[in-house]
Amino acid sequence: MWEQLMKVVSGGIFGGVAEVIRTFVTDPTERVKAELALQTLQVETQRELMRLEVADRESARKREASVQGYTMPTLTALYTAGYFGMMFGLLSGWFVIPTDEAGMFQALVGVLTAGQYSIMAYYYGSSAGSSVKTRLLANGNGGGEGR
């Protein structure tokens, strides 16, 4: 979810506003000021989204540590074993999917794969970029390494 928000913030919204500035602000000095303000807002927004992502993951980990039950690890292990068992069965030919059911089954595999991704993101973070963002935020350098 956070990566999707970052994509929208990085290119979608701010890219459109930058295009509006280039189109409608005719004075070069004012255009530079507006573009700089937009870039500053974009960096601040990305920093806030990174902070929220880290806080979200941290709260989930704190919850996991405070509960100290076997429910989450057990469900995670069962889901993961079932997912990879299903994938092995499909790839090895043990499971045969009728051609008229293929579309529905592809959707089901997509949903299960997304669930598996969520499990991995919960325990290990959503990407290598997340660990970099976490490190930058911990150092107070969320705006970039060059600061």
Residue 86 lies in a domain: yes
Residue 74 lies in a domain: yes
Q: What are the two backbone dihedrals, phi and then psi, of residue 93, each rounded to the nearest 5 degrees? A: 90, 5
Domain residue limits at 101: 2-138
Residue 138 and residue 58 in contact, taking contact as beta carbons nearer than 8 Å:
no
Residue 105 lies in a domain: yes
Report the Cα–Cα distance between both ends of the chain, in Å, rounded: 28
Q: Which residue has the higher pLDDT, 19 or 80?
A: 80
The angle at the Cα of 117, spanning 102 to 5, to the nearest 5 degrees, equals 105
Tokens found for residue 51 = 């902070």
For the stretch 72-90, pLDDT in tens is: 888 889 999 999 999 999 8
Residue 6 lies in a domain: yes
Structurally, how many domains does the chain consist of? Answer: 1
Give CA torsion, residues 41, 44, 45, 49, to 10 deg: 170
Residue 147 lies in a domain: no
Kindly report the average pLDDT of the chain as a whole number: 78
For the stretch 89-128, pLDDT in tens is: 988 988 888 888 888 888 989 999 999 988 888 777 766 5
Residue 77 lies in a domain: yes
Residue 61 lies in a domain: yes
Residue 143 lies in a domain: no
The angle at the Cα of 118, spanning 103 to 47, to the nearest 5 degrees, equals 125
Entry pTM:
0.45
CA 26 and chain centroid, separation? 37
Q: Is the pLDDT of residue 147 over 50?
A: no
